[in-house]
Amino acid sequence: MSDILTIAVSKGRIFEDAMPLLKQVGIVPNEDPEKSRKLVLETNQPDVRLLIIRATDVPTYVERGAAELGIAGKDVLMEYIGDDIYEPLDLGTAKCRMMLAGLKKPKPITDRPRVATKYTNITKNYFSAKGQQVEIIKLYGSMELGPVLGLSDWIVDLVDTGNTLKANGLITLEHIADISSRMIVNKAAMKMKSARIKPILEHLEEVVSRNS
């Protein structure tokens, strides 16, 4: 293993909300990922770099050791199928809720309820824990359209302000999970590079509890 520490993170909300925390532990990227086309960003610390990847790819990079550390939403981690990844710290950023939602004025459901979602594993686990049979329809975005167009009865998606649901005539039905960004760590790296990783995690934990 090299001495470089690589932190995998996605652009947008996750990066924007987590960067102030990383800055407080002394890690500042040399470029803004929203402006740069680079996928690997150097930081002010010569041995720390950031990998800018899709949110759903962060656990894969960390599990396989291509990055020692990662920042990922709990939704992505719950959906991810793989070996366990250490998840030592809740950053408390990019907060929202995973919800079951449906039309404000629903049509009667005569058969198994149809649920449109990009979170098929979370949905499957949620309904099997309740012992309820549903048909899951995989979508890649704009889930809110499902019930509106009669493609599905319900959706499982993230809700923050509730504005997206409201704008499409939907309401929340059931709360599935609270979501926030988590720091994740490759298992081998946690052992082999603990002298470098542990102080960062401890400092981050301090910063998170001070900010909360």
Residues lying near ligand PRP in the complex (CB under 6 A)? 141, 157-164
Look at residues 25, 23, 30, 24 and name the one whose alpha carbon lies nearest to residue 44: 30
Partner that binds at residue 162, options ligand PRP, ligand ATP, none, CB closer than 5 to 8 Å by kind: ligand PRP
The whole-angstrom separation of Cα 5 and Cα 43 is 11
Shortest Cβ 145–ligand PRP spacing (Å): 10
Q: Fill in the per-residue mask, 100 to 119: x = in contact with ligand ATP (CB under 6 A), - = not in contact.
A: --------------------
Interatomic CA distance for residues 185 and 69, integer angstroms: 5
**CA 19/CA 15 separation, integer angstroms:** 6
| Number of other residues whose CB lies within 10 A of the CB of residue 205 | 16
**Residue 24's binding partner, choosing from ligand PRP, ligand ATP, none, with beta-carbon cut-off 5 to 8 A by kind?**
none
Q: How far is the CB of 88 from ligand PRP (least distance, A)?
A: 26
Could you give the CA distance from residue 169 to residue 155 in angstroms, rounded to a whole number?
Answer: 13
203 contacts: CB under 8 Å, gap ≥ 6: 25, 26
58 binds ligand ATP (CB under 6 A): no
Select 154 or 197, whichever has its Cβ closest to ligand PRP.
154
Contact flag: residue 14 with ligand ATP (CB under 6 A): yes
Cβ–Cβ < 8 Å for 165, 178: no
**Residues linked to residue 43 through DSSP beta bridges, in sequence order:** 29
> Shortest Cβ distance from residue 170 to ligand PRP (Å)?
10
Say whether residue 158 binds ligand ATP (CB under 6 A): yes
Among 7, 27, 76, 170, binds ligand ATP (CB under 6 A): 76
Residue with smaller CB distance to ligand PRP, 46 or 141? 141
CB nearer ligand PRP, residue 101 or residue 183: 101
In 74-166, beta strands by DSSP E: 86-90, 96-103, 114-117, 135-138, 154-159
Binding site for ligand ATP (CB under 6 A): 10, 12-14, 54-56, 73, 75-76, 94, 96, 158, 160, 179
